[in-house]
Amino acid sequence: DIQLTQSPGSVSASVGDRVTIACRASQDVSSWLAWYQLKPGKAPKLLIYGASNLQDGVPSRFSGSGSGTDFTLTISSLQPEDFATYYCQQAKSFPIAFGQGTRLEIK
């Protein structure tokens, strides 16, 4: 099974900051990786698929990069609504696996 390791586990930042979250896969997943945003009481949201493709309706301040085993999610200029928990997911094979999450908090 493919396992994903995210870092950091949590990060504190301010509105306007640039934030990068990393995700490492235990084996090559090519570009088949997604990023999600979770907020309490709301439906989780797909942000990025195929490692770098922005899902419809997602603001362009979100971007993804990487291939193989190392991936990053970048938020170029944090907005108040971006404070949430972010997860990566490998999309290559079953069982589908998620990273352990990165909690983005207001500094």
Q: What x/- string results for residues 24 through 43 when contact with another protein is judged by CB under 8 A?
A: ------x-x-x-x-x--xxx
Stretch that binds another protein, among 16-24, 61-69, 72-80, 84-92 (CB under 8 A): 84-92
101 binds another protein (CB under 8 A): yes
| Min separation Cβ 9 and another protein, Å | 10
The residue type at 83: F
73 binds another protein (CB under 8 A): no
d(CA 76, CA 95): 32
Q: Work out the burial of residue 45: count CB atoms within 10 Å of its CB; fewer than 13 is exposed, 13-18 middle, 19 or more buried.
A: middle
The residue type at 81: E
65 binds another protein (CB under 8 A): no
Alpha-carbon 40 to chain mean position: 17
The single residue among 5, 28, 44, 61 that binds another protein, judged by CB under 8 A, is: 44
100 binds another protein (CB under 8 A): yes
The residue type at 1: D
